Protein backbone atom coordinates (compact mmCIF):
# COMPACT_ATOMS: atom_id res chain seq x y z
CA UNK A 1 0.00 0.00 0.00
CA UNK A 2 1.27 3.47 -0.72
CA UNK A 3 -0.21 6.46 1.06
CA UNK A 4 0.43 10.16 0.52
CA UNK A 5 -1.14 13.33 1.80
CA UNK A 6 -0.25 16.88 0.73
CA UNK A 7 -0.18 19.97 2.94
CA UNK A 8 -3.67 20.66 4.21
CA UNK A 9 -5.70 23.85 4.35
CA UNK A 10 -8.80 24.08 6.50
CA UNK A 11 -11.25 25.58 4.02
CA UNK A 12 -10.53 23.50 0.90
CA UNK A 13 -12.13 20.10 0.14
CA UNK A 14 -9.67 17.19 0.08
CA UNK A 15 -9.35 15.04 -3.05
CA UNK A 16 -8.53 11.40 -2.32
CA UNK A 17 -7.40 9.29 -5.29
CA UNK A 18 -7.42 5.50 -5.02
CA UNK A 19 -6.18 2.98 -7.56
CA UNK A 20 -4.85 -0.44 -8.42
CA UNK A 21 -1.09 0.13 -8.48
CA UNK A 22 0.59 3.51 -9.01
CA UNK A 23 -2.12 5.18 -11.17
CA UNK A 24 -3.37 7.47 -8.37
CA UNK A 25 0.13 8.67 -7.56
CA UNK A 26 1.01 9.22 -11.22
CA UNK A 27 -2.29 10.96 -11.98
CA UNK A 28 -1.64 13.51 -9.23
CA UNK A 29 1.92 13.96 -10.50
CA UNK A 30 0.62 14.56 -14.05
CA UNK A 31 -1.99 17.03 -12.82
CA UNK A 32 0.76 18.92 -10.99
CA UNK A 33 2.60 19.43 -14.28
CA UNK A 34 -0.46 21.20 -15.66
CA UNK A 35 -2.05 22.88 -12.66
CA UNK A 36 0.99 23.53 -10.44
CA UNK A 37 1.27 22.50 -6.79
CA UNK A 38 -1.95 20.83 -5.60
CA UNK A 39 -3.01 21.31 -1.98
CA UNK A 40 -5.47 19.16 -0.09
CA UNK A 41 -4.86 16.02 -2.11
CA UNK A 42 -4.12 12.47 -1.00
CA UNK A 43 -3.78 9.10 -2.63
CA UNK A 44 -3.88 5.48 -1.62
CA UNK A 45 -2.41 2.92 -4.01
CA UNK A 46 -3.26 -0.77 -3.66
CA UNK A 47 -0.17 -2.84 -4.29
CA UNK A 48 0.31 -6.47 -5.20
CA UNK A 49 -0.04 -8.71 -2.17
CA UNK A 50 -1.98 -6.14 -0.10
CA UNK A 51 -4.74 -7.57 2.02
CA UNK A 52 -8.12 -6.00 1.02
CA UNK A 53 -9.10 -5.97 4.70
CA UNK A 54 -6.07 -3.79 5.52
CA UNK A 55 -6.85 -1.56 2.54
CA UNK A 56 -10.39 -1.05 3.83
CA UNK A 57 -9.12 -0.10 7.27
CA UNK A 58 -6.66 2.34 5.75
CA UNK A 59 -9.42 4.03 3.71
CA UNK A 60 -11.61 4.37 6.78
CA UNK A 61 -8.76 5.83 8.82
CA UNK A 62 -7.72 8.18 6.03
CA UNK A 63 -11.22 9.50 5.31
CA UNK A 64 -12.03 9.99 8.97
CA UNK A 65 -8.79 11.90 9.48
CA UNK A 66 -9.99 14.88 7.39
CA UNK A 67 -12.42 17.40 8.89
CA UNK A 68 -12.83 19.03 5.44
CA UNK A 69 -15.29 18.02 2.72
CA UNK A 70 -13.96 15.03 0.82
CA UNK A 71 -14.07 13.89 -2.80
CA UNK A 72 -12.99 10.32 -3.48
CA UNK A 73 -11.97 9.34 -7.00
CA UNK A 74 -11.33 5.68 -7.89
CA UNK A 75 -9.90 4.11 -11.02
CA UNK A 76 -12.37 1.34 -11.75
CA UNK A 77 -16.03 0.79 -10.96
CA UNK A 78 -16.23 -2.56 -9.15
CA UNK A 79 -12.51 -2.81 -8.43
CA UNK A 80 -11.04 -3.26 -4.95
CA UNK A 81 -10.45 0.47 -4.24
CA UNK A 82 -14.06 1.19 -5.26
CA UNK A 83 -15.54 -1.77 -3.38
CA UNK A 84 -13.47 -1.03 -0.29
CA UNK A 85 -14.82 2.51 -0.23
CA UNK A 86 -18.40 1.23 -0.53
CA UNK A 87 -17.85 -1.21 2.31
CA UNK A 88 -16.64 1.48 4.73
CA UNK A 89 -19.28 4.11 3.89
CA UNK A 90 -21.37 3.29 6.96
CA UNK A 91 -18.46 3.79 9.32
CA UNK A 92 -17.54 7.23 7.97
CA UNK A 93 -18.22 10.30 10.08
CA UNK A 94 -19.72 12.25 7.18
CA UNK A 95 -21.08 11.74 3.66
CA UNK A 96 -18.34 11.54 1.05
CA UNK A 97 -18.76 12.20 -2.68
CA UNK A 98 -17.13 9.41 -4.70
CA UNK A 99 -16.75 9.01 -8.46
CA UNK A 100 -15.22 6.22 -10.55
CA UNK A 101 -13.32 6.16 -13.84
CA UNK A 102 -10.93 8.90 -12.80
CA UNK A 103 -8.87 10.48 -15.54
CA UNK A 104 -6.79 13.63 -16.01
CA UNK A 105 -9.54 15.94 -17.34
CA UNK A 106 -11.82 14.84 -14.50
CA UNK A 107 -9.17 15.49 -11.87
CA UNK A 108 -8.27 18.92 -13.29
CA UNK A 109 -11.95 19.87 -13.26
CA UNK A 110 -12.37 18.77 -9.65
CA UNK A 111 -9.19 20.61 -8.57
CA UNK A 112 -10.51 23.84 -10.09
CA UNK A 113 -14.16 23.56 -9.08
CA UNK A 114 -14.07 21.88 -5.68
CA UNK A 115 -14.25 25.04 -3.61
CA UNK A 116 -17.08 26.74 -5.46
CA UNK A 117 -19.43 23.78 -6.07
CA UNK A 118 -21.74 21.68 -3.95
CA UNK A 119 -21.23 17.90 -3.96
CA UNK A 120 -24.11 17.44 -6.41
CA UNK A 121 -22.71 20.01 -8.84
CA UNK A 122 -19.21 18.66 -8.51
CA UNK A 123 -20.41 15.14 -9.18
CA UNK A 124 -22.07 16.21 -12.46
CA UNK A 125 -19.13 18.35 -13.43
CA UNK A 126 -16.51 15.66 -12.77
CA UNK A 127 -18.41 13.06 -14.76
CA UNK A 128 -18.97 15.45 -17.66
CA UNK A 129 -15.30 16.47 -17.78
CA UNK A 130 -14.22 12.83 -17.68
CA UNK A 131 -16.47 11.93 -20.61
CA UNK A 132 -16.33 15.06 -22.78
CA UNK A 133 -12.62 14.75 -23.46
CA UNK A 134 -12.94 11.27 -24.92
CA UNK A 135 -13.13 11.31 -28.70
CA UNK A 136 -11.72 9.82 -31.88
CA UNK A 137 -8.89 12.22 -32.76
CA UNK A 138 -8.76 11.07 -36.39
CA UNK A 139 -12.42 11.97 -36.84
CA UNK A 140 -12.16 15.23 -34.88
CA UNK A 141 -9.40 16.52 -37.12
CA UNK A 142 -10.52 14.65 -40.28
CA UNK A 143 -6.96 13.29 -40.44
CA UNK A 144 -7.81 10.60 -42.97
CA UNK A 145 -10.75 8.55 -44.08
CA UNK A 146 -10.75 4.80 -44.05
CA UNK A 147 -10.83 3.56 -47.65
CA UNK A 148 -13.94 1.74 -48.71
CA UNK A 149 -12.03 -1.43 -49.67
CA UNK A 150 -10.35 -1.53 -46.23
CA UNK A 151 -13.78 -1.38 -44.66
CA UNK A 152 -14.90 -4.31 -46.83
CA UNK A 153 -11.82 -6.27 -45.78
CA UNK A 154 -12.76 -5.79 -42.15
CA UNK A 155 -16.28 -6.98 -42.80
CA UNK A 156 -15.04 -10.04 -44.71
CA UNK A 157 -12.60 -11.02 -42.01
CA UNK A 158 -15.37 -10.94 -39.47
Q: Which residues bind other proteins (CB under 8 A)?
A: 33-37, 105, 108, 112, 132, 140-141
How many C-beta neighbours within 10 Å does residue 115 have? 13
Alpha helices in 4-147 (DSSP H): 23-35, 52-64, 80-88, 104-113, 119-132, 137-140
Shortest distance, CB of residue 42 to other proteins, whole angstroms? 18
Shortest distance, CB of residue 36 to other proteins, whole angstroms? 4
Shortest distance, CB of residue 106 to other proteins, whole angstroms? 11
| Closer CB to other proteins, 36 or 49, in the complex | 36
- Calpha distance 8→60 (Å, rounded): 18
| Closer CB to other proteins, 34 or 86, in the complex | 34
| Closer CB to other proteins, 31 or 97, in the complex | 31
Shortest distance, CB of residue 141 to other proteins, whole angstroms? 5
- Calpha distance 106→11 (Å, rounded): 21
Angle at which helices 80-88 and 52-64 cross, to 10°: 60
| Closer CB to other proteins, 16 or 31, in the complex | 31
| Closer CB to other proteins, 34 or 67, in the complex | 34
Which of 91, 126, 121 has the alpha carbon at shortest distance from 109? Answer: 126
Shortest distance, CB of residue 144 to other proteins, whole angstroms? 12
Q: From edge to edge, which strands make up the β-sheet containing 70-74?
A: 2-5, 41-46, 14-20, 70-74, 97-100
Amino acid sequence: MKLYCSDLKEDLPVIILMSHGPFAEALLESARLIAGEIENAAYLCLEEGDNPQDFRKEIEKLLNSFAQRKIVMVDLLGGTPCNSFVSVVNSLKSEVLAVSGMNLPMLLEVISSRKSMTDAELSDCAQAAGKESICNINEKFSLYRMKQEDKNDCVNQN
